[in-house]
Amino acid sequence: MKLVRYGAPGRERPGLVDDRGALRDLSAHVDDLAGEVLDPRALARLKTIDPSSLPKVEGDPRLGPCVAGTGKFICVGLNYSDHAAEAGAAVPAEPILFMKATSAICGPNDDLVLPRGSQKTDWEVELGVVIGRTARYVDEAEALDHVAGYCTVHDVSERAYQLEHEGQWTKGKSADTFGPTGPWLVPADAVENPLSLPMWLKLNGEIMQDGSTATMIFKPAFLVSYISRFMSLQPGDIISTGTPPGVGMGKTPPRYLRAGDVVELGIDGLGAQRQTVVAAR
């Protein structure tokens, strides 16, 4: 099952993509893909619906973020062994956590807007873990029971704002449009092995990142358990779990996004994104 949200920003409707790739409207069954709808038990009930019984959505509507009501957008830094090597950094002993503003969340194919003054905006394809049930001090063995599903996330970063302007990383991670999410939310039980998913990113048709979740250091179950020690995780919260090598900062010389660039990225089974880079007005 591939769950989506479609329509104009702020007015998205819930839907699903059937086995033939057709978009079907789910709004007769749920108001949105948020809150209690994301509980794994509620998602299991949605799976019993015959997609052919749902209204087909005509045309090619915009896809919005695949989950609504996100209260926390939590990111994990240096969580791929090969990316840590690329960055010349030691593998962390514990997860490096930082927050990305939820106002950065946008649709998977929306324009990527460079913030004013940006010179070092970078790309990062990441596996997103979407929380479906409140998690507080959960054991690792039970952590995935609290996960609604997985999605593709683009963790866009302005490296100068992140690393050269003092303070925490958040200011380089949180510009509007710096968190494209989706296209699909795939329920956890439909992802056979989230630890062996090929992931890729292209810039203007050229492969920049070509990796796999197999090189992830701290796995989703551990991350959910670990983070739940420090804060409760609520339905709709997103954990963006880090990126493989190939980011612009790691190139020789470094390479960053410019207006007019086209970024395409995806994770096998979770769908692809495409963004055109534009300058802030």
Q: Are 211 and 244 in contact (CB under 8 A)?
A: yes
What is the CB neighbour count within 10 angstroms for residue 273?
24
Whether the link from the prior residue into 183 is cis, omega within 30° of 0, is yes
Give the C-alpha separation, 57 to 44, whole Å.
Answer: 23
Which residue bears the tokens 């926390």? 72
- Residue 74's pLDDT is 98
Q: Which residues of the chain have pLDDT under 50?
A: none
**Maximum Cα–Cα distance across the chain:** 55
Positive or negative, the CA dihedral 103, 197, 87, 93 is positive
| Residue 111 near residue 83 (C-beta atoms within 8 A) | no
Count of C-beta atoms within a 10 Å radius of residue 179: 27
pLDDT tens-digit readout, 120-171: 999 999 999 999 999 999 999 999 999 999 999 999 999 999 988 887 889 9
Q: Amino acid letter at 225?
A: S
65-279: CATH, from 3.30.565.10, 2.40.10.410, 3.90.850.10, 3.90.1150.10: 3.90.850.10
pTM score of the predicted model: 0.96
**Domain ranges for the chain:** 65-279
From CA 256, how far away is CA 78, in angstroms rounded? 19
